[in-house]
Amino acid sequence: MDEGLDKWRSEIRALDSEIIARAARRMELALKIGQYKADHQLPVKDFRVEKEIIERTRTMADSMGLSPDFAEHLMTLIMGHSVREQNKLHQSKRSESASSLKNALVIGGLGRMGRWFSQYFQSIGFQVSIHDIKSEETPETYSRHHDLNSDLNRYEVILLTTPMAATPALLELLAKQSVKALIIETSSLKTPVLSGLKALKESGAKVASIHPMFGPDTDLLVDKNILICRGEGLSSEEAAALYFHSTSAELVMIDIDHHDQDMLSTLGLTHFINFLFGISLCEQALPIDQAKKRGGSTFFEQFETTRALFSENHELYFDIQALNPHSSELYEKLRKVLDRLEQLIQTKDKKGFLNELKRADAVLRKTL
């Protein structure tokens, strides 16, 4: 029996070596492709190819009796590393054939999400221009559009990736320009921008409202959601079909009137819980470096999630809480849950505490 185990383990070791060798060869080829893209001024990311690879991987895995989810996860790790390595090679050069490309304008294009969308639209065949109040230099792969009061009709699409507080005025400015382009706004909340959307619709412009549910560090769109906001006079579904259907992102249709209420759970609550954890952790008697040495898997998972969140856009986090007209409902429910749990613990009501967990567990399990 031991001889059999040794034989199988020996074969596994050989397969492990082969897997690493194959991964190294794949990376070698990916870097050659990355160099070619750099030499020919092609964008690093091709989200359509990403979708094709994932679909092919899942089909192949299923035919071989391997979990498609596992195979997708493995391939996502490999592709993500390839993209990051190709980015290191990519030299910014403006394409000589740019005049033959369709034109897109990204307003707020020097912000982090603006840069993401600039790269995305470039990857699907657009010559991208950027408008931004920031004075920093525009990357050489993009043009700079300085004046929003002129020359807007050369664009097929105009995308806004601007702070929520600034977006309504920009939408109303565009409404005065008789813009022919499809205008897409990407705000994390929709109530603050409804007036601007209304002005655009009344001007006869085509306007769409979407909400990318991911951050600017996203390399791949596998398992990522883009909310497509439907509403009277909106062209959001047209925008989704034109510019996002060929990716591996999940396009989720949502009524714009329900968007901010839904965001209480998916943004407001999740952010707020992380605020509580991060701020409270910093105020504990145990220093964080010591807490990390004493922490278990749950602590580390929560710590990494919170640390990543705190490294992002603090002003946006404030706006998501402060500009959502439903936020008070969230805080009231949080207080009630905290008071209820505290009462059960203080009174040593084990049965009541377990019932709370059992009730929530039953609901959570339905999503598996």
Q: What is the pLDDT of residues 130-141, one digit of tens each?
A: 999 988 888 888
Q: What is the pLDDT of residues 224-258, one digit of tens each?
A: 999 999 999 999 999 999 999 878 889 999 999 99
- Helix H, strand E, coil C: the string for 238-300 is HHHHHHCCCCCCEEEEEEHHHHHHHHHHHHHHHHHHHHHHHHHHHCCCCCHHHHHHHCCHHHH
pLDDT at 41 over 70: no
Q: What is the DSSP letter of 138?
A: P
For residue 98, count CB atoms less than 10 angstroms from its CB and return exposed for 0-12, middle for 13-18, buried for 19 or more: middle
Q: What is the pLDDT of residues 329-347, one digit of tens each?
A: 999 999 999 999 999 999 9
Q: What is the pLDDT of residues 154-182, one digit of tens each?
A: 999 999 999 999 999 999 999 998 899 99
pLDDT of residue 212: 97
Give the DSSP letter string of 14-62.
HHHHHHHHHHHHHHHHHHHHHHHHHHTT--S--HHHHHHHHHHHHHHHH
pLDDT of residue 94: 40
Contact residues for 124 (Cβ-Cβ < 8 A; gap 6+): 47, 48, 243, 246
Distance CA 261, CA 95 (A): 44
pLDDT of residue 89: 63
Instruction: Give backbone dihedrals phi and psi of 182, rounded to 5 degrees, phi first.
Output: -75, 120
Query: Hey, CA dihedral for 262, 236, 102, 200, is it positive or negative?
Result: negative
Are residues 208 and 185 in contact, defined by beta-carbon separation less than 8 angstroms?
yes
The 3-state DSSP class for residue 76 equals: helix
pTM above 0.75, yes or no: yes
pLDDT of residue 273: 97
- The full set of domains in the chain, from first to last, is 2-89 (1.20.59.10), 98-259 (3.40.50.720), 260-365 (1.10.3660)
Q: What is the pLDDT of residues 279-294, one digit of tens each?
A: 999 999 999 999 999 9
Distance CA 36, CA 132 (A): 31
